[in-house]
């Protein structure tokens, strides 16, 4: 015997929805195709390994999925024929104020973000795209501790334009001795904030220990008295349960640390070596290096920063004195001299040996003067950084500098600072010398000059791609051409270090965002 299917409209609708739910996912999975682009280039410079002649790059939904030679790709893929061109990662600028308001601030402003000054739709990124830059890091203005850098793409959808909002902390040591005092004070105050949290935690631990002892004592007293146990049982029965709720230990409240002063929070993160916490220090002359060492050794010495018994003037006017006003203002309020027990030694904060994660050498040609150019070129374009090349290389931290040849002090002897630093194992990051006019477009040519004078090709190319990406915390996304990275790429008419090469295409997240116009020189 057969039964008729339900004929009501409601039943038919429910049946249709059920069938749709069962078969729609399979049909959708079969019909979906990722947006695939294949680039066939004359040369692929990966910067993560060897350069690939006649290389191919497969991009799916803006991400690089394959890099190699003669790859098998589906017929529906979009093919870009660049067999007469070179493809490499987009250039990354490690720090600029291009296109932003010109103002200055001083003091401790570690919590300020450069992104607050950036209105990307008002900035003309055309010169940077033309020069092959796919990302630029904007830095906050001013002296002292001016704030944190923010990394922006030079084109693409607005929602994807910010690559990193909270980058490295910028510290200026270009205005001495004021900037030095600011740095010493900031670190000292940050250590006082850490001590404040440690003391609060120690106090909380003592209170919890006292609470547990009191509860244990109360429980023991209850077990020693028959009347108390009987009374507790009767009360528990009257309340509807058979146990004495007062015997169960109470849950301790969660520890709530005191708030850290916002302007000092990035410095506290640096002291705690938290992931992503980096500090870049800027010099305008070689003397900045010993001043930095003195400031850090003073602020990071093992003695507690809030102690009122610290000796005066241990390191002279530029060393200990900047800490003293903060000791009077910070230390007295934390109870450090009121007999309060200290936190256990195992939990005590141990300052790092250094906080410097990169050094930027400003004014590489600090003696340059157009009015004093001689027959030999420019003997006034000398740099005293040549005197500290060994000391800089021994730091084993990235060095940010412009791609310039200089002269030894008071001579006409040309000197390749970048080449000498790289030969000593230093990691270099290059930034344009000029940011107006043709400055960005001349950047690769200036870099090529250093290579001709002895800088290795690998160090030059890594210094504008992989190394700045690592400093800015985005090396997992951009900076090299390899599987899993986003396709932020540039196409060039020839080798990037050849004087005649020009950028012919800029691609961000797999999409072409710039190509030369009809009037542009190709």
Tokens of 61: 């939904």
pTM exceeding the 0.85 threshold for the entire prediction: no
Total residues belonging to the chain? 522
The confidence score (pLDDT) of residue 319 equals 40
CA dihedral 494, 496, 500, 505 (to 10 degrees): 70
491 pLDDT band, cuts 50/70/90, is very high
Digit-coded pLDDT (tens) for 300-319: 888 655 443 434 333 333 44
- Residue 37's φ and ψ, nearest 5 degrees, are -125, 135
The confidence score (pLDDT) of residue 453 equals 94
Q: Which of 115-119, 125-129, 254-258 shows the lowest mean pLDDT across its residues? A: 254-258
With CA atoms as reference, report the closest residue to 94 among 396, 384, 398, 513. Answer: 398
Digit-coded pLDDT (tens) for 63-106: 999 999 999 888 899 999 999 999 999 999 999 999 998 888 89
Matching residue, tokens 């915390």: 473
User: SS in 3 state form for 100-113?
Assistant: CCCCCCCCECCCCE
Please check whether residue 432 is in contact with residue 397, taking contact to mean a CB–CB distance below 8 angstroms: no
CA distances from 6 to 14, 15, 343, 444 (A): 11, 10, 76, 75
**CATH superfamily for domain 91-211+259-300+353-475:** Metal-dependent hydrolases (3.20.20.140)
Neighbours of 400 (CB within 10 A): 22
What is the gyration radius of the CA atoms in the chain, in angstroms?
Answer: 32
For residue 213, the number of C-alpha atoms closer than 13 Å in the C-beta half-sphere is 6
- Residue 301's φ and ψ, nearest 5 degrees, are -65, 155
Q: What counts of helices (H) and strands (E) characterise the chain?
A: 12, 20
| Cross-sheet strand order for the sheet of 133-138 | 91-96, 133-138, 150-153, 162-164
The answer, yes or no, to whether residue 437 has pLDDT greater than 60, is yes
User: SS in 3 state form for 382-413?
Assistant: ECHHHHHHHHHHHCCCCEEECCCCEECCCCCC
Please check whether residue 38 is in contact with residue 56, taking contact to mean a CB–CB distance below 8 angstroms: yes
493: left (phi over 0), alpha (psi -120 to 50) or beta: alpha
Please check whether residue 219 is in contact with residue 247, taking contact to mean a CB–CB distance below 8 angstroms: yes
102-136 burial by CB neighbour count: b if 16+ within 10 A, else e?
Answer: eeeebebbbbbbbbebbebeebebebbbbbbbbbb
Q: Which of 53-62, 358-367, 472-481, 508-517 shows the lowest mean pLDDT across its residues? A: 358-367
Which of 66-80, 127-141, 394-408, 431-445 is modeled with the greatest confidence?
A: 127-141
What are the domain boundaries of the chain?
34-89+479-521, 91-211+259-300+353-475
Strands 150-153 and 133-138: antiparallel
How much is the average pLDDT of 425-429? 96
Digit-coded pLDDT (tens) for 322-359: 343 343 334 444 433 333 334 334 355 666 767 889 99
The confidence score (pLDDT) of residue 229 equals 53
The dotted CATH code for 34-89+479-521 is 2.30.40.10
410 pLDDT band, cuts 50/70/90, is confident
């Amino acid at each position: 015997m057969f039964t008729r299917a339900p004929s009501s409209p409601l039943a038919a609708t429910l049946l249709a929805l059920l069938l749709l739910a069962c078969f729609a996912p399979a049909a959708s999975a079969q019909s979906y195709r990722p947006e695939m682009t294949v680039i066939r280039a004359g040369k692929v410079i990966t910067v993560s390994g060897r350069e690939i002649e006649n290389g191919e790059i497969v991009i799916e939904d803006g991400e690089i999925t394959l890099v190699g030679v003669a790859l098998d790709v589906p017929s529906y893929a979009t093919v870009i024929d660049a067999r007469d061109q070179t493809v490499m990662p987009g250039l990354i600028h490690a720090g600029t104020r291009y296109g932003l308001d010109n103002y200055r601030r001083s003091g401790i402003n570690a919590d300020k973000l450069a992104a607050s000054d950036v209105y990307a739709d008002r900035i003309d990124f055309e010169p940077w795209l033309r020069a092959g830059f796919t990302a630029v890091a904007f830095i906050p203005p001013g002296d002292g501790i001016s704030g944190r850098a923010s990394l922006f793409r030079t084109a693409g959808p607005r929602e994807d334009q910010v690559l990193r909002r909270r980058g490295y902390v910028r510290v200026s040591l270009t205005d001495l001795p004021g900037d030095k005092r600011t740095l010493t004070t900031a670190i000292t105050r940050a250590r006082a904030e850490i001590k404040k949290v440690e003391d609060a935690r120690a106090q909380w631990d003592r209170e919890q220990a006292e609470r547990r002892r009191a509860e244990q004592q109360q429980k023991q007293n209850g077990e020693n008295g028959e009347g108390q146990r009987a009374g507790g049982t009767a009360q528990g029965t009257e309340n509807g349960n058979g146990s004495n709720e007062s015997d169960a230990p109470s849950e301790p409240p969660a520890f709530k640390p005191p708030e850290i002063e916002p302007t000092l929070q990035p410095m506290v993160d640096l002291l705690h070596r938290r992931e992503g916490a980096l500090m870049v220090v800027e010099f305008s002359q070689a003397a900045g290096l010993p001043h930095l060492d003195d400031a850090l050794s003073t602020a990071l010495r093992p003695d507690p920063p809030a102690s009122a018994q610290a000796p005066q003037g241990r390191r002279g006017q530029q060393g200990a004195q900047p800490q003293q006003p903060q000791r009077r203002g910070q230390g007295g309020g934390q109870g450090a001299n009121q007999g309060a027990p200290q936190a256990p030694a195992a939990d005590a904060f141990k300052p790092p040996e250094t906080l410097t994660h990169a050094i930027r050498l400003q004014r590489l040609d600090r003696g340059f003067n157009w009015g004093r150019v001689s027959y030999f070129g420019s003997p006034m374009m000398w740099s005293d950084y040549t005197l500290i090349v060994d000391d800089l290389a021994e730091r084993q931290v990235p060095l940010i500098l412009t791609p310039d040849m200089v002269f030894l002090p008071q001579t006409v002897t040309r000197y390749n600072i970048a080449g000498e630093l790289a030969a000593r194992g230093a990691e270099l990051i290059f930034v344009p010398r000029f940011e107006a006019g043709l400055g960005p477009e001349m950047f690769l040519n200036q870099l090529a000059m250093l290579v001709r004078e002895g800088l290795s090709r690998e160090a030059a190319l890594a210094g504008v791609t992989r190394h700045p990406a690592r400093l800015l915390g985005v090396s997992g996304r951009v900076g090299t051409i390899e599987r899993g990275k986003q396709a932020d790429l540039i196409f060039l008419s020839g080798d990037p270090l050849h004087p005649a090469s020009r950028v012919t295409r800029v691609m961000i997240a797999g999409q072409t965002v710039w190509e030369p116009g009809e009037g542009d020189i190709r």
